[in-house]
Chain A
Amino acid sequence: MTAIDPTAHLTSEQIEELGRELDAIRDEVIADRGEKDAAYIRKVISAQRKLELVSRGVLLFSIFPPAWLIGTAGLSVAKIMDNMEIGHNILHGQWDWMRDPKIHSTTWEWDHVSPSEQWKHSHNELHHTYTNVIGKDNDLGYGIMRVDEDQKWHPFHLGQPLWNFINACFFEYGIAAYDLELGKNLNKRRRKSPEFRARAKAVGRKIRKQVLKDYVIHPLLSGPSFLPTLGATFTANLVRNLWTHSVIMCGHFPEGVQVFERRSIKGETRGQWYLRQMMGSANISGSKAMHFMTGNLSHQIEHHLFPDLPSNRYAEVAVKVRALFEKYELEYVTGPLPKQVFSAWHKVFRLSLPNKKPKVETPDREQELVAA
Chain B
Amino acid sequence: MTSTALRSRAWKLLEMVTTPLLPSDYLDLVSPLRAGADLRGRIEAVHPETGDAATIVIRPGRGWRGHTAGQYVRIGVDIDGVRLWRAYSLTSPTNRLDGRITITVKAIPDGKVSNHLVRRAKPGTLIQLDQPTGDFVLPQAKPAKVLYLTAGSGITPVMGMLRDIAFDDVVMIHCAPQPQDVIFRNELHGLVADKKLRLTEVHTDTDGMLDIARLDELVPDWTERETWACGPAGLLDAAEEHWSEHGVQERLHTERFRPSIVVAGDGGDVTFSTTGKTVDADGATPLLDIGEEAGVLMPSGCRMGICFGCVTPLKAGAVRDLRTGEITEAEPGVLIQTCVSAAAGPCDIER
Contacts and interface: CB of A to CB of B under 8 A. Distances in A.
Given A46-B29, A49-B25, A218-B17, A93 B324 contact: no
Interface in B14-70: 16-21, 25-26, 29
A217 B13 CA distance: 9
A144 B208 CA distance: 80
Label chain B's interface by main secondary structure: loop
> Which of B29, B78, B81, B309 is most buried by chain A, counting CB atoms within 10 A of its CB?
B81
Contact of A213 (B17, B304, B308, B311): B17
Interface stretch (A66-74, A102-110, A133-141, A338-346): A102-110
B306 A307 contact: yes
B323 interface: yes
A124 B306 contact: yes
Contacts of B308: 92-93, 96, 105, 120, 124, 308
Name, among B25, B80, B307, the residue most crowded by chain A CB atoms within 10 Å (CB to CB).
B307
Nearest to B308: A93
Given A30-B324, A128-B307, A97 B25 contact: no
Given A99-B333, A218-B17, A120 B307 contact: yes
Given A212-B16, A213-B17, A33 B309 contact: no
A49 B81 contact: no
Contacts of B177: none
A117 to B, nearest CB: 10
B334 interface: yes
B141 interface: no
Interface in A102-134: 102, 104-106, 109-111, 120-121, 124-125, 128-129
A129 B81 contact: no
A50 interface: yes
B305 to A, nearest CB: 7
Interface string A20-56: 0001001100100111111100000010011001000
A109 B82 CA distance: 21
Nearest to A109: B20
A125 B339 CA distance: 13
B134 interface: no
Interface string A189-225: 0000000000000000010011011000110010000
A131 B304 CA distance: 14
Contact of A120 (B79, B82, B309): B309
A163 B36 CA distance: 48
B83 interface: yes
Interface string B286-329: 00000000000000011011111101000000000001101000
B235 interface: no
Contacts, number: 104
A98 interface: yes
Contact of A37 (B13, B17, B81, B326): B81
A273 interface: yes
Given A49-B29, A92-B308, A99-B333, A35 B302 contact: no
B127 interface: no
Nearest to A102: B25
B335 interface: yes
Nearest to B28: A102
B335 A106 contact: yes
Contact of B81 (A23, A34, A104, A206): A34
A35 B306 contact: no
Contacts of B84: 99
Listed from nearest, the 4 A-B pairs whose CB atoms lie closest are A38-B81, A93-B308, A124-B307, A34-B80
Given A36-B81, A98-B78, A106-B335, 8 more contacts: A34-B80, A39-B81, A92-B308, A106-B311, A124-B308, A124-B309, A125-B301, A209-B16
24 contacts: A30-B324, A35-B81, A37-B81, A38-B82, A39-B81, A46-B29, A49-B25, A50-B29, A96-B311, A96-B335, A97-B81, A97-B82, A99-B333, A102-B25, A106-B311, A120-B307, A124-B307, A209-B16, A209-B20, A213-B17, A213-B19, A217-B13, A217-B17, A308-B308
